[in-house]
Amino acid sequence: MQARESDPRLFLTIFVAALLLSLAAIWLYVVYMPMRFLETGYVSWTAKMDLAKTCDMGDLVVIGDSQAEAAINPLGLSVKSTNLAVGGATPIEMYYWGEHVLRCPNVPRHVMLTMARGQMGLISNFLFENGARYGYIGFGPLQEIQTESARLHDGALERLHTRDGLNGTLRNAFYAMHAPPLYFNSLISARFNGRAQANTQVYDRLLRNRGHNDYPGQVQNAGAGAHAEEPDFKVLPIQAYYLERLIERLEGAGAQVHFLVMPRRGSGDEQHAGQQDARFNAYLVGLQRQHPHFDVVNGVPAIWPDALFSDAAHLNPAGTERYTAQFEHCVKLRVLAGPAAPAAACDFTSVVAGNSLAN
């Protein structure tokens, strides 16, 4: 009796079905179990989104990038505050955070915007890798950003390379549908559920700290290590559009909008860095002239000792403690009092290694 020959079509059918079922299982896991495997950036977005959804953010909300996330601890302020700053935020991401704040019936009286000047001149990969991949900037907003970029003839979005190798509407859909390949690296490095306990602890800490996130790092000695090269300041049309739109939306809701520049480490070419800081300040002052409720608290960064930074950009816990103390001074005597208050109240240049801040 002759054995039946195997049917290659049957094998192919079984293989394709198994592959599709595996991808479906991974997709379901990605969508419903992100806390088990995603990196801590997801935890930060999730905790802060949950803080925003409570609509109990207090009188002062901070919207910005990771420099502010590290520097401002709301628990050290006398006014109830919430830190909604997240890593890599440019005006585009900040705009959508502002939209979440505006959904609340009582918009905070003061909104503090802050970001590194370099964020005005780029579209960060974090728009997709964080905002879209984490599920907080969906297909509609991504399409809107694409439409506005085309209207402004700003090609930065089209030139942005992301890990998927796609572009345009197809890329937007790929991220919005949580395509499994976008998460393979996180799934493998976390062994599928290896981050669950650590992420839960970070989430709880972020809620307790009202959004402040530590960047511990190593305390660095003054002059240690090479400083990053200071790029020229430039403004992308799409970033200018979203920053002005954010200011207008917040002003329209009755909020007083402030802008704060975080301290930075010294540069290897301080003359060049100082020129770029001055250009950023001039840009902010120009916005202040156009918007009656936009207040540039300080447009030029203070230069702080290396020992207060954990890396090239973020304050370490000692730096955070000092900055929050000075920020409290600024909030009480300048932010809450209004633009007519003395500018010296928000002078962040008084920090030198080993010296205390003004009280």
The pLDDT of residue 149 is 98
Write down the pLDDT at residue 13.
85
- The β-bridge partners of 295 are 258
**Residue 3: how many other CB atoms lie within 10 Å:** 5
- For the chain of 359 residues, list the mean pLDDT of each consecutive stretch of 10: 66 84 92 96 97 96 97 97 97 97 96 97 96 97 98 97 95 97 96 96 98 75 51 95 98 96 89 94 96 92 93 94 94 84 80 45
> How many contiguous H segments (helices) and E segments (strands) does the chain have?
13, 5
φ, ψ of residue 62 to 5 degrees: the values are -105, 125
Q: What is the DSSP string of 217-277?
A: -----TT-SPPPP-PPP---HHHHHHHHHHHHHHHHTTPEEEEE---B---TTHHHHHHHH
Burial 188-225 (b: 16+ CB within 10 A, else e): eebeeeebeeebeebbeebeebbbbbbbeeeebeeeee
What percent of the chain is helix, strand and coil (3-state, nearest 5)?
55, 10, 40
Q: What is the pLDDT of residue 224?
A: 43
Determine the pLDDT at residue 216: 76
Question: CA 196, CA 206: separation in Å to the nearest integer?
Answer: 15
Give residue for tokens 């702080």. Answer: 304
What's the pTM value of the predicted model, to 2 decimals? 0.91
d(C-alpha 181, C-alpha 22), whole Å: 12
SS3 labels along 109-174? CEEEEECCHHHHHCCCCHHHHHHHCCCCCCHHHHHHHHHHHHHCCCCHHHHCCCCCCCCHHHHHHH
Superfamily for domain range 8-350: SGNH hydrolase (3.40.50.1110)
What is the structure's pLDDT at 20?
83
The answer to whether the beta carbons of residues 251 and 294 sit under 8 Å apart is: yes
Is residue 35 within 8 Å of residue 46, measured between CB atoms? yes
pLDDT attached to residue 218? 52
The confidence score (pLDDT) of residue 341 equals 75
Domain definitions of the chain by residue range: 8-350
